[in-house]
Amino acid sequence: MRSIRMIGRFILLGFLFLSLPLQHASAQSTLLVPDRVFDGETVHEGWVVHVEGRFITYVGPKTNKKADSEIRLAGTTLSPGFIEGHSHLLLHPYNETSWNDQVLKESTAERVARGVVHARETLWAGFTTVRDLGSEGADYADVGLKEAIQKGVVPGPRMLVAGRAIVATGSYGPKGFHADVTVPLGAEEADGVDNLLRVTRDQIGKGADFIKVYADYRWGPNGEAMATFSKDELTLMRETAASSGRPLVAHAGTEEGMRRAIAAGVETIEHGDGATVEIFDAMRENGVVWYPTLAAVEAISSYSGWKKGVDPTPNRIAVKKELVKQALASGVKIGMGGDVGVYTHGKNAWEMDLMVEYGMSPLAVMQAATSLNATTFHLDKRVGRIQEGLLADLVAVKGDPTTNIKAVWDVVFVMKDGSVFRNDF
């Protein structure tokens, strides 16, 4: 029994050791020497990056600027840390456990334990910031995870969190129970002026960085997706959030849900399966960024038995491919966010891969995952570019992802806030 306990302690110590940064941010300086630098917009051959403490202090051609240490990243492109635009760190793939069972059967303790592992895997994959789009029934555990990462208790990406998110009464799940059964929901119900004001303010007070609303959901007569909140209700939530300096973002997959959300002033549309040319034009005119979550659609299709490259393309995927073409033609900004949690954390690069497959250029995808996401999430004064004065969130990949997006799978170096969390050299 004693030997078993000792083995357990060694395993725990090993886990904790692997979780620590390899190099802590301090007043010491580091010179990073890759083959090229992607600064969030363009590529520069032969550039270097100087980091002092938590911040980038120089980027450009190699100079005689001195540093306490030098890390040579031969064969790599150094990029701003990737920003995941749509994640759920408290969920895990639905082919492991269904969404219903995660919400109804997994304890908050288990979900947080999983979230800690997911956060570490995400950071290891080069994603130094994530926008987490709702705790999905785990109350404000996302706020707690964010704070634990900030305090250095556990390793993980910088998090922007939605907390519980807001749904119209009767629209969200889990469903399938008779009317007298009350079940935990994956988001918080609210309706009408007084209730929406209270819930929006309460979520802000409990740590939400933005308000996520379900502008539509599968509550039609035959279970089809239909709009939920009115434009006035959405506008009220947006105005309430804005008064505290927070944006409103919308899950929206129907044309009407998207139309109301855009008119109400949301900053991003998540999913958008029912978009039209008219809707995309409205998004462009109002500066609304689209997160198509391509990887989630492919993942769910595969869970239903679809084999990519063998079976015919499912209609939903064919529609997504056409929507991406329409969005590009309309000039809509497309952000990088795959709804990871539906599929495996640490495999975030799958969305970037699919964005290219569906018609975007590798350079545009790299911009989407760095500077565009940073600007969309109001983080561009801190991260998203390799620029003097910004935080040293940096990732190196083998090859050049601006010409071959597959390179984003081959991460060999990760720095966040000036601390090195991964160095394969």
Distance CA 133, CA 252 (A): 13
Report the candidate in 159, 36, 176, 20 with the shortest Cα–Cα distance to residue 87: 159
Burial (CB count within 10 angstroms: exposed 0-12, middle 13-18, buried 19+), residue 95: middle
- Identity of the residue numbered 229: F
Q: So what's the pLDDT on residue 236? A: 98
Does the N-terminal peptide bond of residue 174 adopt cis geometry, omega within 30 degrees of 0? yes
- Predicted local confidence at residue 261, as pLDDT: 98
Element spanning 139, H or E: none
Query: Token match 């492109």: residue?
Result: 77
DSSP state letter for 81: P
User: Coil, strand, or helix at residue 361?
Assistant: coil
Q: What is the dihedral of CA 238, 328, 407, 269, to 10 degrees?
A: 20
Return the DSSP state at 164: T
CB atoms within 10 A of CB 54: 16
Coil, strand, or helix at residue 86?
strand
Select the CATH number that applies to the domain covering 82-347 from these four: 3.40.50.920, 2.70.98.10, 3.40.190.10, 3.20.20.140: 3.20.20.140
pLDDT at 63: 82
AA identity, residue 308:
K
Asked if the domains at 2-81+385-423 and 82-347 fall in one CATH topology, the answer is no
Cα separation, 310 vs 347, in Å, equals 22
Strands of 200-336, DSSP E = 211-214, 216-218, 225-227, 248-252, 268-271, 289-291
| Domain-wise residue ranges, the chain | 2-81+385-423, 82-347
Upper half-sphere CA count for residue 229 (Cβ side, 13 Å):
32
CATH number of 2-81+385-423, picked from 2.40.50.140, 3.40.50.2300, 3.30.1600.10, 2.30.40.10: 2.30.40.10
425 residues of the chain, pLDDT tens digit each: 444 444 444 344 454 445 567 765 556 999 999 999 999 999 999 999 999 999 999 999 998 888 999 999 999 999 999 999 999 999 999 999 999 999 999 999 999 999 999 999 999 999 999 999 999 999 999 999 999 999 999 999 999 999 999 999 999 999 889 888 889 899 999 999 999 999 999 999 999 999 999 999 999 999 999 999 999 999 999 999 999 999 999 999 999 999 999 999 999 999 999 999 999 999 999 999 999 999 999 999 999 999 999 999 999 999 999 999 999 999 999 999 999 999 999 999 999 999 999 999 999 999 999 999 999 999 999 999 999 999 999 999 999 999 999 999 999 999 999 999 999 99
How far, in Å, CA of 174 to CA of 187, rounded? 10
